[in-house]
């Protein structure tokens, strides 16, 4: 936050603070927020250029006096640029297939994704894997439908379930004892880290939440 017009040092400090916080808490999504009394057209253009790579929100603040009272008015002049999942709107330059993921992760954790696909098939037998560079998604008749997606890792599989945030779902997941990470509000999903034993132990719960995600994805 800065009095007066924004300047070069203000922008640099904002990006530095953003970088410090994202390194300190990598499990969360972070956005840089720059606030000033006046964000000139010149610097708004510069911030817009950064926003393609660094999530930045620019807010202009005004103080208005009414009688003996002062009101602060905040106007968002630039919002964070959000992007959809890769396979939903653009081509991926690097080819990704099963071999790519077995090399990047392990055959065992990719096989966990197979077991979860069996659960998906309880709701739609025509859904199949769509391999992407950053995750394994789902597709039906060649069209992506990522109500769940998978990120195999060396020791675990991260399952991402696209569901609206709710107390009911969070209670189900928290009571289960699964390694559920913070709800990703940006993409609207619950990330869950799974081992082979947990996929077996919690098969009924996983089927339940996959089914909920499938139903929410239907028009």
Mean pLDDT by runs of 10 across the 219 residues of the chain is 73 84 75 80 72 77 82 78 48 70 94 97 95 92 91 94 92 92 87 95 96 90
Looking at residue 2, its pLDDT comes to 66
Helix (H) or strand (E) holding 176: helix 167-176
Helix (H) or strand (E) holding 90: none
Whole-model pTM above 0.85? no
Looking at residue 52, its pLDDT comes to 62
Cβ-based neighbours of 140, under 8 Å, separated by 6 or more: 124, 126, 127, 128
Looking at residue 88, its pLDDT comes to 46
Domain ranges of the chain: 2-78, 86-217
- Of the candidates 182, 190, 134, the one whose C-alpha atom is nearest the C-alpha of residue 162 is 190
Looking at residue 90, its pLDDT comes to 43
Answer whether 214's CB lies under 8 Å from 120's CB: yes
Token digits of residue 132:
């992407």
Q: What is the CATH architecture assignment of 86-217?
A: Alpha-Beta Complex (3.90)
Task: Determine the Cα–Cα distance for residues 26 and 40; give it in Å rounded to an integer.
Answer: 32
Other Cβ atoms less than 10 A from the Cβ of 205: the count is: 16
Query: Kind of pairing, strands 157-162 and 179-180?
Result: unpaired
Looking at residue 51, its pLDDT comes to 67
Looking at residue 163, its pLDDT comes to 93
Token digits of residue 217:
């994805």
Looking at residue 96, its pLDDT comes to 84
């Amino acid at each position: 936050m800065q009095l007066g017009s924004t300047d070069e040092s203000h922008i640099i400090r904002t990006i530095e603070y953003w970088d410090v916080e994202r390194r300190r808490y990598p499990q969360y999504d972070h956005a840089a927020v720059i606030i000033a009394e006046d964000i000139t057209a010149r610097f708004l253009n510069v911030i817009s250029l950064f926003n393609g790579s660094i999530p930045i929100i620019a807010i202009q603040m005004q103080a208005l006096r009414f009688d003996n009272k002062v009101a602060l008015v905040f106007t968002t002049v630039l919002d964070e640029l959000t992007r959809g999942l890769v396979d939903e709107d653009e081509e991926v330059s690097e080819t990704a297939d099963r071999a790519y993921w077995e090399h990047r992760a392990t055959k065992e954790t990719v096989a966990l994704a197979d077991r979860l696909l069996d659960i998906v098939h309880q709701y739609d037998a025509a859904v199949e894997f769509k391999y992407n560079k950053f995750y394994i998604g789902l597709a039906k008749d060649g069209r992506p439908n990522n109500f769940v997606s998978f990120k195999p890792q060396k020791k675990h599989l991260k399952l991402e379930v696209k569901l609206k945030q709710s107390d009911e779902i969070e209670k189900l997941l928290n009571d289960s004892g699964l390694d559920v990470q913070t709800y990703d509000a940006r993409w609207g999903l619950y990330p869950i880290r799974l081992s082979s034993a947990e996929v077996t132990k919690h098969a009924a719960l996983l089927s339940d939440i996959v089914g909920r995600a499938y139903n929410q994805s239907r028009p």
